[in-house]
Chain A
Amino acid sequence: MKTKNPIGRKLLDNTVKLLSVGASFLGIFFLAWILLEVTQRGIAAINWDFFTELPAPPGEEGVGLSSAIVGTLIMTVLAVAIGVPLGILSGVYLSEVARGTRTANAIRFCINVLMGVPSIIVGLFVYTILVLPLGQFSGLAGAVSLAIIMLPVIARTTDDMLILVPNALRESALALGTPKWRVTFDIVLRAAKTGMVTGVLLAIARVSGETAPLLFTSLNSFYMPESMMGPTSNLTVTIFNYAMSPYEDWQQMAWGASLLIMISVLGVTIFARAAFKERAK
């Protein structure tokens, strides 16, 4: 190896160090920029009416996004009700029922593929299986698409967390004559509770900010959702529609909705992380 000029080496070293400091602060700078802009512009749109009034055509006073807030909440809850049990059960299958088998590896592969599927493709898929046959956009289809996005994430978390539970726990419970299902639900899952809760919360945070899959499934509506079998009002698609509109008051509302979504998503994420860290200590 050639010997290089020591001063040049030091200089290069320091330059790269400086660059890496700069890059890190660039990342933080962008995060701060986004948070500040959304907060500043969003707060201007948020008032009491924002939460209690229905959307209206541009130019009207005293309008809000109550229907979209309710719609997003209902669809997220429905998605959790479908996606979380399915995800946990399939994770349990991988780790407790079929550990080490080829079937388990095949399913693990499917889960990894599903995790990599862009959310818009999930929306497209649900469109073809639920919207086309039923003949209309529906909140149910929206919830199903969100559930399909959650499913692999939760299955993977469950699998990863349950693998960490020491086998001695399972063996001692089985030796006491405990049936397998109780070993899983009362002992193994309980031992992995903190990690599971974190995983589920992070998955919920992720889907509650999703827009792309809802574009083709729940669509959007101006009315308070009455049934999950028709187009359902929701915050994220509302942001998209309002932001793309030429009306300034609608764009203003879009900022308000963005702030609401951002606070909920980041709030749940930070809470989940903090809870996990506290327990881990």
Chain B
Amino acid sequence: MKMPRKQGSNASKSPLGDVLYNVFTRGAAGVVILIAIGIVFSLAGNSWPAIEKFGAHFLVDTTWNPVIFEFGALSSIAGTIVSTIIAMIIAVPLSVIIAFFLVELAHPWLSKPIGYAIELLAAVPSIIYGMWGLFVFAPFMADHIQPALQGWFGKLPLFEGPPMGIGMLSAGIILALMILPFITAVMRDVFRMVPSVVKEASFGMGSTTLETAQNVTVKYGFSGLLGAVFLGLGRAVGETMAVTFVIGNSHDISASLFAAGNTIASTLANEFTEAAEPLYMSALIELGLVLFVMTLVIQILAQWWIGRTQKKAGAGL
């Protein structure tokens, strides 16, 4: 929209200001697009030698041997998926009941500081989780949790092997702790948005708090729950430092959660500066590309889902 300008002392300056304004804001927005596209092209371009050499085999091969230049990403991909699944299994139910506590049960004077403390978990840098995980939590796992798990479920292959503390399970638990605040925050907002009339109606029918939560709040907020899950998923998949510290960094795939493993991010963090050979480097960048595609798919699904539910919410509520 064009505005008729007043003739004044400022009139001669304002066009220049507005021109610069347009140039700079457009330029900045252009930089955003450039970075987004640049990430795709630079990763794809630099991983091309590895893509050419190994093809689709890269994704399903378990060998990762820099000495003989055999690179397969399966152990890293599997590790990423397994550690993320462990984290989600722990974090999602915990977050939901914490949000339930904060919104439905706790008195505001209790709910506020507890909510704040949970949010602070998100502010702790991942390297701190790594330090704590390696020097404090892993020994604790080895001494207490892992022997107990072996005692209870001794025959399961999931809990086989020596309790070293570090490994897939510890990495998953620490990941769970790191994504917990994000999922909790979303779930809390979702629960708060449920109109109290609907909840009161449920209580009026004689439902207990749990039944109201199950039949009203959670149903009402189910789409939000999925959004929260996507958010946590995106975080967990790419988390690097905390995982690198505690996962043990081994390229073997093991059925046991006590065994050392790796993820795409931890492999990159550990090996990138050692990769002197172009093909080794290229294989690592291709790993990065795989991780990028994973987060991209999660992002697109999440945005599609949020867009869909927003439309629905706009029409239905």
Partner-B contacts on A (CB < 8 A):
9-10, 12-13, 16-17, 19-21, 23-24, 26-28, 30-31, 33-34, 37-38, 41, 85-90, 92-94, 96-98, 103, 106-107, 109-114, 116-122, 124-125, 127-129, 132, 148, 151-152, 155, 174, 177, 179-182, 184, 205-206, 209-212, 215-216, 219, 236, 239-240, 243, 251, 254-255, 258, 261-262, 265-266, 269-270
Contacts and interface: CB of A to CB of B under 8 A. Distances in A.
6 contacts: A97-B22, A114-B32, A116-B295, A125-B43, A179-B17, A212-B240
Given A37-B136, A120-B288, A243 B8 contact: no
B230 to A, nearest CB: 9
Nearest to B231: A116
B125 A209 contact: yes
A27 B288 CA distance: 32
Given A28-B117, A38-B128, A261-B125, 13 more contacts: A13-B210, A17-B105, A21-B105, A23-B98, A27-B94, A97-B26, A118-B238, A121-B295, A124-B272, A128-B285, A151-B35, A180-B21, A215-B269
Chain B: number of interface residues, binned into ranges:
35 or more
The list of the 10 closest CB pairs from A to B, nearest first, reads A118-B238, A209-B125, A89-B28, A181-B21, A179-B14, A13-B208, A20-B101, A93-B25, A90-B28, A212-B240
Contact of A90 (B10, B32, B136): B32
Contacts of B285: 124, 128
B106 to A, nearest CB: 8
A209 B134 CA distance: 18
Contact of A114 (B35, B102, B125, B130): B35
Contact of A129 (B31, B33, B42): B42
Contact of B18 (A21, A26, A103, A179): A179
Interface stretch (B71-79, B157-165, B192-200, B296-304): B296-304
A114 B27 CA distance: 17
Given A23-B98, A243-B134, A12 B127 contact: no
Nearest to A209: B125
Contacts of A89: 24-25, 27-29
Contacts of A20: 97-98, 100-101, 105
Contacts of A211: 125-127, 240-241
B8 to A, nearest CB: 7
A34 B10 contact: no
B211 interface: yes
Contacts of A21: 101, 105
B258 interface: no
B35 A148 contact: yes
Contacts of B28: 85-90, 92-93, 155
A239 B131 contact: yes
A30 B33 CA distance: 39
Interface in B1-53: 3, 5-6, 8, 10, 13-15, 17-18, 20-22, 24-29, 31-33, 35-36, 38-39, 42-43, 45-46
Interface of B: 3, 5-6, 8, 10, 13-15, 17-18, 20-22, 24-29, 31-33, 35-36, 38-39, 42-43, 45-46, 94, 97-98, 100-102, 105-106, 114, 117-118, 120-121, 123-132, 134-136, 177, 180-181, 184, 208-211, 234, 237-241, 244-245, 265, 268-269, 272-273, 285, 288, 291-292, 295-296, 298-299, 303
A209 B265 CA distance: 17
Contacts of A96: 25
B132 A38 contact: yes
B125 A243 contact: no
A128 B42 CA distance: 7
Contacts of B121: 27, 30-31
Q: Point out which of B18, B114, B127, B181 has the most chain A C-beta atoms below 10 A from its C-beta.
A: B127
Nearest to A176: B6
A55 B312 CA distance: 58
Contacts of B130: 240, 243
Contact of B292 (A33, A121, A182, A266): A121
Nearest to B46: A128
Contacts of A121: 39, 43, 238, 288, 291-292, 295
B25 A265 contact: no
Given A98-B29, A129-B38, A262-B128, A269 B43 contact: no
A92 B134 CA distance: 43
